[in-house]
Structure 1
């Protein structure tokens, strides 16, 4: 069995810090959504709907979650009036989940806290480093997804 390349070592050394980053982001999301009817998990789902309605399957794929867990969150969003089901012209049996005006308002209510948090954290790193990191994360995500296919 061959050993890892220097690139493989570098990627392996990145895994634990990324897991820690994910946990830190979850904690921040919990703080930002505290007192809201939107949970951090629901916030992730709703965030994908801001620009367009999506199917549960697409949301699950983008978030790397089980379809059933996203379905449960979608059902909660619909039951609370934050989202609604819409007909999908491309697939009759797979409805689209879309934000309602109430859903947009709920997300907007989180905006001041999210902005304050983002500004405070980002000030410690700077926009150029964060933009570069964002691009690298996108490229790494694509590479991992390509390898999985």
Structure 2
């Protein structure tokens, strides 16, 4: 490994940590007015299309199963999500938003759309698309390397 390779790895990692913090700050600003946190929105967002077990949500979001479990329990207690039986695994219940959970996430949509427009205008659609493609590729390669 050369120093340049190490610098690239460090730069990519540090930039991703900064981006993660920036995205979480934006998510907090978007979610707070509707009574959600960024973490709650993240977990609800993971199960909008289909119910998932806590471990599946954690894998999809890149966070710990324990963190997701705490958030899911809170969402269930607050009436924003519910647990369902999982036919594939008796002990790993599925998490699904309730109607109140769907409604809360939908209330974020106008502010989310406005911020997405501002970001796209500031960065340019092509550059933002290229950044997304690069981040997606980097994530896939890191998964592949981790599996080796």
TM-score (norm 1): 0.90
Q: 1:27 maps to which residue?
A: 25
Secondary structure, in 3 states, of the residue corresponding to 2:123? coil
Q: 1:111 maps to which residue?
A: 109
Secondary structure, in 3 states, of the residue corresponding to 1:34? helix
Paired residues in the alignment total 147
Give, in angstroms, the shift of residue 34 of structure 1: 1.8
Q: 2:60 maps to which residue?
A: 62
Give, in angstroms, the shift of residue 8 of structure 1: 4.9
Gap regions ≥5 residues in structure 2:
none
Q: Is structure 2 residue 70 aligned with structure 1 residue 72?
A: yes
Gap regions ≥5 residues in structure 1:
none
Q: 1:131 maps to which residue?
A: 129
Structure with higher helix content: 2
Query: RMSD across aligned C-alpha pairs, in angstroms?
Result: 1.5
TM-score (norm 2): 0.91
Secondary structure, in 3 states, of the residue corresponding to 2:33? coil
Higher mean displacement: 79-88 or 128-137: 128-137
Q: How does 1:137-148 map to 2 (within 5 A)?
A: 137-148=135-146
